[in-house]
Amino acid sequence: MTAPYWLNPLDREDFPNVSLALRDPDGLLAIGGDLSIERLLAAYQRGIFPWYSDEQPVLWWSPDPRSIIRPENLRISRSLQKTLKKQVFQLTIDKAFKDVIKHCSESRKNAVGTWITDEMMYAYNRLHDAGHAHSIECWQNDKLVGGLYGIAIGQVFFGESMFSKVTDASKVAFVYLIKQLQAWGYELIDCQVQSAHLDSLGAENIPRTVFIHALEYYCQQPGHDTPWEFDPDLLLKTS
């Protein structure tokens, strides 16, 4: 078997071992299949995610190394700390998932490469309706100005995308997410690939083998199963 592997459309658990992923382009593992809830959950638990453009079939990736954040290693810069103390934003969870993913897709339209397709938005909205995908919303004067979304499995949050229309809005949403996940006992936030933006918040690169080993354990642990809401005292303490 060699990558990229063509997935069996009838078998939604059909993924090759991530060790077979290409080095160039880094992490390309498989092609095809669908974006059903079953296949997406199977992919994330194996350290695989979809990333492609409208002109392509579904492409599945598992890059090496992997960018992650351990909640206890969250880094808050002095400038971001000042923003948090000013409390200029209001934070919510799962109040506007469709709006968040729509804004995230728009922020990628002018970028070179891939973006969030209509097919992807439909699939992740279904994941949200099923209780697997969640959004953090950042509001200012009743206007949605930033946020992010991702998938939760066990004690792992797989971050997908974020957007910001006001300085620091997405960073503030990310800080509150990590603080809440830490309070719930989550152990790992997947950031997929390295970026300066995430590095500034404490992200680190780890070998894919280490990442997969962590998923095998933490995805099987109990997560937060009741509806997601911020702990009231956390909204006060984070500032």
Q: What is the pLDDT of residues 4-31, one digit of tens each?
A: 999 998 899 889 999 999 999 999 999 9
d(CA 225, CA 148): 20
DSSP labels for 10-71? T-TT----GGG--BTTBTEEEE-----HHHHHHHHHTT-EE---TTS--EEE--SSEEEE-G
Confidence (pLDDT) at 113: 45
* 209 three-class SS: helix
- 96-124 mean pLDDT: 82
Interatomic CA distance for residues 62 and 50, integer angstroms: 9
Average pLDDT, the chain: 93
Domains of the chain, residue spans: 5-63, 67-237
* pLDDT given at position 209: 98
Query: Mean pLDDT lowest for which of 135-139, 147-151, 197-201, 217-221?
Result: 197-201
Q: What is the pLDDT of residue 108?
A: 52
Output the pTM of the full model: 0.94
- What's the confidence (pLDDT) of residue 46? 98
pLDDT cut 70: percent of the chain above it: 95
Backbone CA torsion sign across 119, 177, 222, 71? positive
5-63 CATH pick, 3.90.76.10, 3.30.1490.20, 3.20.20.140, 3.30.70.3550 = 3.30.70.3550
CATH of 67-237, one of 3.40.630.70, 3.30.420.40, 3.30.70.260, 3.40.1010.10: 3.40.630.70
Give the pLDDT band (50/70/90) at residue 48.
very high
Which of the pair, 113 or 58, is modelled with greater confidence? 58
What CA–CA distance (Å, rounded) separates 18 from 27?
8
Look up residue 155 and give its DSSP letter.
Answer: T
**Statement: residue 45 has pLDDT above 90:** yes
